[in-house]
């Protein structure tokens, strides 16, 4: 088991520097353009694929880093470049994690490569869980999956929303209800293969931030998929549902549903994204404060500015430490007995909002314009406290874990 350490090894440092160079040389110069266009930056994704960043091999190497720091390190550097473009590059990863968390070895080997394509023909994937009336309240999910035993097919009907890459993805991973009586424990995840009839893109959202990342509704109308597209297989599903029914009848321990298994695995990674955005804004503010003069001296000479920057850096480092701890715990199999995964996501996302707002304030009028990147970073940072579990939900998870009480 890898010991927890705050020191990256030589291989990790080399990867970090490589990613930082790509973020600085490719992502940042394109950030403003694709934010204004509000379109998927396919050329940038293709460049990432050409150098090996947008690939199954790269993410597998980082995912299986024995220290657990590969993924958060990668997320921080890419999102330091730009949150919208970075999310377009890594958004497929959430669908891949959904398959890794719930799928068989055969399903993992079959579908994850199709999510990425190759450097000459890049593809993306989408994880579809949220619905118009079921965001944080996953028990209210209405999308249904009904098994047609005669044809060994599942039939999916419903509408998903807030899906990154929704409708433009080559592969969609869809969470649906298979047993409504079990609430959120009666959910399962399904692969919808490319060009499956009945799946279409609904509304594409025009967003406050991360505008280079495609977010849309996904509509499922009598979508028929083969039985082998149920992640984990039907035998495993039937066993899990039987256990859930027994526990529900006896009032025993609950089992995790498919969507929550995916979100638990990804929360520290989202925290790392927030750290990257916060760090980027802090660095812009620090450089600006050193060069901007008022009353005959750099504004960093004023305690009112210098103390803000000191707090910003302290909060960023604290957030990174929480993310690294949670990532190491997840990789080494240590249980989140105090909801450490949610802690990391909560603190890092709140830090990103606060730090980017302070950066705008330090830049003053310039910070409020699109001539400087902190305006975009501030808009981007808002999403971290919302997606993959709002800050309120993270606090609920932490409070329930610490107290053992069903806090509502």
Residues marked as catalytic = 388
**Residues 299, 289 contacting (CB under 8 angstroms):** yes
The C-alpha atoms of residue 388 and residue 256 are separated, in whole angstroms, by: 16
Residues with Cβ < 8 Å from 236, sequence gap 6 or more? none
Structure tokens at 369: 């314009």
With b meaning 16 or more CB within 10 Å and e meaning fewer, what string describes 94-131? bbbbbbbbbbeeebbebbbbebbbeeeebbbbbbbbbb
Pairing outcome for strands 153-164 and 144-148: antiparallel
Which residues are paired to 144 by β-bridges?
Answer: 157, 177
Nearest to 35 by CA among 92, 86, 85, 91: 85
CA separation for the pair 11, 3 (Å, rounded): 17
DSSP for 31-97 reads HHHHHHHTS--HHHHHHHHHHTSSSHHHHHHHHT-TTS-HHHHHHHHHHHH-HHHHHHHHTHHHHHH
Place of tokens 């035998």: 235
Q: Which of 345, 147, 319 is nearest to 235 (CA)?
A: 147
């Amino acid at each position: 088991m890898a010991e927890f350490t705050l020191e990256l090894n030589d291989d990790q440092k080399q990867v970090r520097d490589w990613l930082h160079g790509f973020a600085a040389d490719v992502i940042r110069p394109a950030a403003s353009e694709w934010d204004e266009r509000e379109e998927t930056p396919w050329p940038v994704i293709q460049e990432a694929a050409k150098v090996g960043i947008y690939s199954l091999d790269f993410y597998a190497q980082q995912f299986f880093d024995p220290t657990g720091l590969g993924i958060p390190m990668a997320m921080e550097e890419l999102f330091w470049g730009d949150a919208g473009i970075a999310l377009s590059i890594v958004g497929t990863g959430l669908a891949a994690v959904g398959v890794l968390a719930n799928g068989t070895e055969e399903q993992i080997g079959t579908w994850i490569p199709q999510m990425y394509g190759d450097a000459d023909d890049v593809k993306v994937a989408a994880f579809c869980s949220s619905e118009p009336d079921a965001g944080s309240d996953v028990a209210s999910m209405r999308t249904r999956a009904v098994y047609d035993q005669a044809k060994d097919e599942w039939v999916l009907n419903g509408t998903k929303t807030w899906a990154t890459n929704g409708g433009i993805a080559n592969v969609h991973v869809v969470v649906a209800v298979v047993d409504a009586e079990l609430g959120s424990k009666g959910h399962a995840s399904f692969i919808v293969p490319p060009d499956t009839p009945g799946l279409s893109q609904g509304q594409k959202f025009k967003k406050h931030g991360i505008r280079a990342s495609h977010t849309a509704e996904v509509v499922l109308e009598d979508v028929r998929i083969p039985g082998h597209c149920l992640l984990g297989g039907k035998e495993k599903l039937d066993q899990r549902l039987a256990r859930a029914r027994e526990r529900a009848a006896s009032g025993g321990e609950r089992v995790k549903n498919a969507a929550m298994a995916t979100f638990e695995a990804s929360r520290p990674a989202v925290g790392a994204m927030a750290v990257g955005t916060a760090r980027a804004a802090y660095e812009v503010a620090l450089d600006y404060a050193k060069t901007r003069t008022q009353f005959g001296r750099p504004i960093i000479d004023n305690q009112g500015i210098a103390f803000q920057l000191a707090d910003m850096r302290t909060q960023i480092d604290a957030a990174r430490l929480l993310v690294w701890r949670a990532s190491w715990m997840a990789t080494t199999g240590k249980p989140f007995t105090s909801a450490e995964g949610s802690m990391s996501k909560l603190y890092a996302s709140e830090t990103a909002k606060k730090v980017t707002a302070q950066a705008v304030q330090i830049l003053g009028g310039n910070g409020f314009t699109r001539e400087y990147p902190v305006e975009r970073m501030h808009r981007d940072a808002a999403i971290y406290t919302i997606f993959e579990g709002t800050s309120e939900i993270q606090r609920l998870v932490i409070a329930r874990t610490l107290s053992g009480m069903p806090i509502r």
